[in-house]
Amino acid sequence: MRHSDFIAGNARRRQRGSISVHLLVLMVPVFFGLMGFAIDLGRLYAARAELKAASEAMALAAASGLIGTDAATDNATLAARRAIETASGYGNRYDFGSLAVGEATGGLNSEVTGPTFFDNVASATGNGEATTGTAGEVSGSLAKHVRVDLTGETPLTFWRFLSLGQEGRVALAARAVAGVSAPVCTACAIEPVAIAPLDAGDTTNYGFITNTRYTFGYTCTGAPVPQPLAGNTAGGRVPYLILNRLNEGAAVFSDDSQQLFRTGAQGLVPNTSEALGCIRIGNTEEVIWATASQLACNANTVQTAVAAYLCGLATRMDNSLVQGCANIAEVDSLTALYAADTDWTDLDDYAAYTGNGRRLLTIPIVEALNPTGTMTVLGFRQFLLEPLQNQTGIAPNDANGRFAALYIGNVAPIRQGRIDGACGVTSGPGKVVLHR
């Protein structure tokens, strides 16, 4: 080989080597970019979804506590924080569960803004992405909707080697807004205690007056009509019936009195059948619980079924076994299932209530009480169960099936229900829903 050819060959090899190096330099960022799309982008989407889930959990928890009292927003804030607490190990986290929401973890920061409370949906949802604002913000009994904003930093694996990702982390944000829906047409887990309107022409309150105490008494025939309970005479006596929701196929606590006890203690028991677990506005086929028929007013007693219901109702204020309940099968086991309300106070103003909602009653209003035929449901209204005068609970053995309750209107969301169906009501309790 001639010397000139050798030199030329080396030059070409050096040129090809130089091109390869340049190509390698150019391809490295492309490689990291493509790997970033495969790894980092997927991680960011997953972390964003986890932050969104955490914000929704916080908003829903907070909205469930907006029951129209002065303490509602404070209690709702505590409920929201429990959704992201780390002590139990069950709180919401993000980045595949490795990072705590609202805390600094390994140099990565997460922050929570809110919950912030509003009296209307428009103010809560806002019209932009700003996380702050005072329009419509309220507290206490006026709060109906809540907004929660979360931010959280997520680490990068491959994109951190590129100029745009040199900090090695990306900040993500999520927002959730929850609150009370429009009035429900079907309400579940409520009290099947039917009462008639005091004023049929008043479709807002049916003649009941807010913060007025009423004596509920089981309907009876003849005279003398039982009198209101002491200290609860302002609103007078309101006759009631128990609507039939007997589950003949119940696997546990199947006895009639056991089911009535549970219904009194917690409202309608959940069931896969809507007919057993819910009540619908507009239904014209409601009938009385078969074993809870009315007796003569002068009999000084009520059906055993009514007493069983009141035994369950009593657990909402005092879950110790009270007189008249020992004849219910397995009553000790039943009573142990339920905790009393945290606020037993005798109240004249519902806004001062600080309890956990156990005393709240959502009651169907029917066109007219009919112990021997069918009844039509007009709507739902809410009351606060009150203790007997100078006591901490109610009397399940009351000869007239009486208990006292304070009318509060539609202030608290129900636990479960359906809005669909166009039942035609414009006033009534709603349920907690996500607005955003």
What tens digit of pLDDT does each residue of 113-127 get? 989 999 999 999 985
pLDDT in the model for residue 6: 47
- Six-digit token string for 345: 């106070």
What is the pTM for the complete model shown? 0.87
Residue-by-residue DSSP string for 286-346: B-B-TT----BGGG----HHHHHHHHHHHTTT--S--TT-TTSTTHHHHHTT-PPPS----
Q: CA–CA separation, 386 vs 65, rounded Å?
A: 20
Q: What is the pLDDT of residue 163?
A: 52
> From the centroid of its chain, how far is CA 240?
27
How confident is the model at residue 166, as a pLDDT?
A: 56
Query: Per DSSP, which regions of 340-376 are E strands?
Result: 360-366
Buried b (16+ CB within 10 A) or exposed e, 54-78: bbbbbbbbbbbbbbbbbbbbebbbe
pLDDT for 40 equals 61
3-state secondary structure of 28: helix
Which positions ≥6 away from 140 have C-beta within 8 Å?
Answer: 69, 70, 71, 72, 73, 351
Q: What is the pLDDT of residue 323?
A: 72
Give Cβ neighbours of residue 209 (< 8 Å, ≥ 6 apart): 235, 407
What pLDDT is stored for residue 156 in this prediction?
72
pLDDT at residue number 129 = 43
Coil, strand or helix: which one is 197? coil
Q: Write the pLDDT tens digit of every residue in 258-267.
A: 999 999 999 9
Cβ–Cβ < 8 Å for 93, 99: yes
Domain ranges of the chain: 39-180, 184-430
Number of H helices, E strands in the chain: 8, 16
pLDDT given at position 132: 46
Residue 191: what pLDDT?
A: 97
pLDDT beneath 50, residues of the chain = 6, 24, 27-28, 30-34, 36-37, 128-133
